């Protein structure tokens, strides 16, 4: 059951229509549901982050390791089951060529998710990446700290600009922000998300992969439509 506590820290736009308020309630309820499921269903599938070299060596390796042992990390990551193919497909060759041309490194699969109605609602203008559905952390501690800076209203986060390679292979700059949804934090790809979705023919129900890599220590993202 969703309670008022789940909406603590959630940004509400006064200009939203009643339908948009309802969609936000559904989004918060969905986040809470996945969090509860992730705590109930153990053992969880553990995803290993691969750098570019390791990724190529394991390109045809299709096994997934199930682990019941406690994590030795200071911040163990528990993720829900990903949408779409399992195991996730490799980065297509055309995207790999772009990464190599940029001398990119530290390739990681961030998430594999199904586009929801709220992801595609024009007035929301963002792609939600819930932390509970991410496979690997792709930002440094300093970059995560920069996402904590807020606008003058003290509610919305400023975010940061990152380079994005679209499904069409076109490149653009996109705003990456961190939002609080209920008791959870989510990354958000914001402006110009609506334009990207339209230009790449994205629709509700499409399965997307989001990958990250580094160029001169700066984060870059790849969006792939499966």
Decide if 105 contacts 81 (C-beta within 8 A): no
pLDDT for residue 4 is more than 90: no
Q: Which residues contact residue 221 at a Cβ distance below 8 angstroms, ignoring those fewer than 6 apart?
A: 110, 162, 163, 164, 165, 174, 176, 189, 210, 211, 212
Q: Each residue of 171-216: pLDDT tens digit?
A: 999 999 988 766 677 899 999 999 999 999 999 999 999 999 999 9
Residue linked to tokens 């390679």 = 165
Window from 22-36, 92-106, 114-128 with minimum mean pLDDT: 22-36
Structural contact between residues 219 and 110, judged by C-beta atoms closer than 8 angstroms: no
Better pLDDT: 151 or 17 = 151
Cross-sheet strand order for the sheet of 218-225: 105-114, 207-215, 218-225, 160-165, 171-181, 184-189, 127-130
Q: Where are the domains of the chain?
A: 4-225
56-110 pLDDT, tens digit per residue, is: 544 444 334 333 333 334 445 545 567 888 899 999 999 999 999 999 999 999 9
pLDDT over threshold 90, residue 226: yes
Split at pLDDT 50, 70, 90, the class of 48 is very low
Percent of the residues in the chain that have a pLDDT greater than 70, as a whole number? 64
Report pLDDT for 11.
Answer: 53
Strand ranges (E), the chain = 105-114, 127-130, 160-165, 171-181, 184-189, 207-215, 218-225
Instruction: Please give the model's pTM, rounded to 2 decimal places.
Output: 0.65
Decide which of 2.60.120.1440, 3.30.565.10, 2.40.330.10, 1.50.10.20 is the CATH code for 4-225. 2.40.330.10
């Amino acid at each position: 059951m969703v309670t008022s506590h789940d909406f603590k820290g959630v940004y509400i736009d006064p200009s939203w229509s009643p339908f948009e308020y309802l969609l936000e309630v559904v989004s918060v309820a969905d986040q809470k549901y996945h969090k509860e499921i992730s705590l109930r269903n153990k053992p969880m599938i553990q995803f290993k982050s691969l750098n570019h070299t390791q990724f190529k060596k394991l390109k045809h390796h299709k096994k997934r390791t199930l682990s019941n042992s406690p994590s030795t990390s200071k911040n163990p990551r528990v993720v829900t089951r990903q949408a779409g193919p399992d195991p996730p497909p490799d980065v297509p060759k055309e995207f790999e060529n772009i990464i190599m041309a940029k001398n990119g490194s530290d390739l990681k699969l961030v998430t594999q998710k199904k586009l929801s109605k709220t992801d595609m609602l024009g007035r929301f203008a963002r792609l939600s990446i819930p932390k509970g559905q991410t496979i690997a952390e792709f930002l440094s501690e300093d970059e995560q700290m920069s996402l904590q800076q807020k606008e003058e209203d003290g509610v919305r986060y400023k975010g940061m600009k990152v380079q994005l390679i679209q499904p069409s292979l076109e490149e653009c700059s996109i705003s990456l922000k961190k939002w609080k949804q209920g008791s959870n934090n989510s990354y958000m790809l914001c402006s110009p998300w609506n334009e990207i979705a339209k230009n790449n023919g994205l629709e509700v129900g499409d399965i997307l992969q989001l990958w990250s890599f580094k160029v001169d220590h700066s984060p870059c993202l790849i969006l792939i439509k499966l």
